[in-house]
Amino acid sequence: MTETVTIPTTPAVPLASDVPIAALSENISDARLALKILMAEDNLADHELILHELRRAGFDVSHEWVQTAQDFTIALRESCPDIVLADYNLGQWRGVETIEILRREGMDVPVILVSGALGDVNAVECIKQGATDYVLKDSLARLPIAIRRALNEKQIEREKRRAQEDLARKVEELARSNHDLEQFAYVASHDLQEPLRMVAAYTQLLGEQYGDRLDDKAQRYIHYAVDGAVRMQTLIQDLLAFSRCGRSDVTLEISDCNLILERALDRLCAAIEETHAHITWDPLPVLPVNRSQLEHVFQNLISNALKFRGSEVPAINISAEARTNEWEFCVRDNGIGIAPENAEMIFAVFKRLHTREEYPGNGIGLSICKKIVERHGGRIWVDSGAQSPGTTFRFTLPTSQKRDQESS
């Protein structure tokens, strides 16, 4: 009784000898399949038997027949076969050497070993070295199945590689597009500052020098023009800050986050005194961060807590807790809070939950925080499950010097 020894290449994908012919016929067309073979075989009778079996199975075979490694290399260079069939023992060399020759020539062609006898140890070794499959010569009826399966796998692999290349190309195009947009925003914002400054300055000058000649309506129009120009200047400065955050390289240094927080509080001392805010913090870690950018995150989150305060004296606490490979920071206040449905949109550029009459600002600060944290390899969010009143912002920073390379 004849049989084919089978060693699965992966647990999920059986070898051809494990797959019923009926099952394979569902995936393979019954039409004659043109097949270009390079066969390394030193026995003419076996060579003829293999060709006969393949033609009987519906293949339209064209082939090159070689017996030495040198002839195999020459034939490989002259033609690109769909598949290589090689006897395991070829006298002066072994069929498994065809795999190394293919690698050396930079060709990715499936190799099926067709052998008279092959022990389990040799079979496993051949699969490890890269053979697609193997079939015993007394079970040649299984060879067409092995070939069809190998060609199917090759096609799937080729399509997968093409999809991966397309995805990589689109990611590269997207990154280039984002970089170009950031560059444009930076240049446009920078160039717009001077004309806006002139509009605001000369409009103010007009009001000062000719104010006594203008009626209340004209004075009001001048006020609107100056206010609009000043707001536009602030908007452009915010846009510049957002663009600069994306353009500059993130230099990470081992830093004491306590000192960074203290510098941020120093910059906010006037607002803290004005609101009589009570700010506390737990011991913070030493991490690889960009000091100025982390200071900006602290400053923005605390500034928001002061701005969106409730009727009570602002109470703000900053803490940090160690997680797996990262630290999770928490900035908690007792202000007016954020509705859960707005927890995502507040990080979008220029998104505001209140009018300018209620609270000043352009709605870009949290966008900058998000960009900074993500460039450090972390994430930021609002803890919508926190009890009101108040808001709890959380963000993570890695313990190692890992950051978002794609946005660098």
pLDDT digits 0-9 by tens, 281-331 = 999 999 999 898 899 899 989 988 888 887 889 999 999 999 999 999 999
Q: Quick one: CA dihedral 278, 286, 366, 393, positive or negative?
A: negative
Task: Please tell me what DSSP assigns to residue 39.
Answer: E
The SS3 assignment for 60 reads strand
Give yes or no for a cis peptide into 360 (omega within 30° of 0): no
Concatenated DSSP letters of 79-110 = ---SEEEE-SB-SSSBTTHHHHHHHHTT----
- Tell me which residue has tokens 């602002």: 314
Amino acid at 266: D
SS3 label, residue 335:
coil
Q: How far is it, in rounded angstroms, from Cα 142 to Cα 21? A: 8
Question: Which residues, given as ranges, of the chain have pLDDT below 70?
Answer: 1-32, 185-186, 188-190, 237-250, 349-363, 384-388, 401-408
Give the pLDDT confidence score for residue 241 in this predicted structure.
67
Please report, for residues 64, 79, 126, 364, the alpha-carbon distance to residue 76 in angstroms, rounded to integers and kept in the order given.
9, 5, 20, 62
pLDDT of res. 250: 67
The Cα 20–Cα 22 span in angstroms is 5
Cβ neighbours of 8 (radius 10 Å): 11
- Output the six-digit token pair for 182: 């950031």
Asked whether the beta carbons of 289 and 252 are under 8 A apart, the reply is yes
Rg (the chain; Cα; Å)? 36
Residue 313 carries which DSSP code? P
Output the pLDDT for position 27. Answer: 45
At residue 314, the 3 state secondary structure works out as coil
* Interval 76-108: pLDDT, tens: 888 889 899 988 888 888 888 888 998 888 888
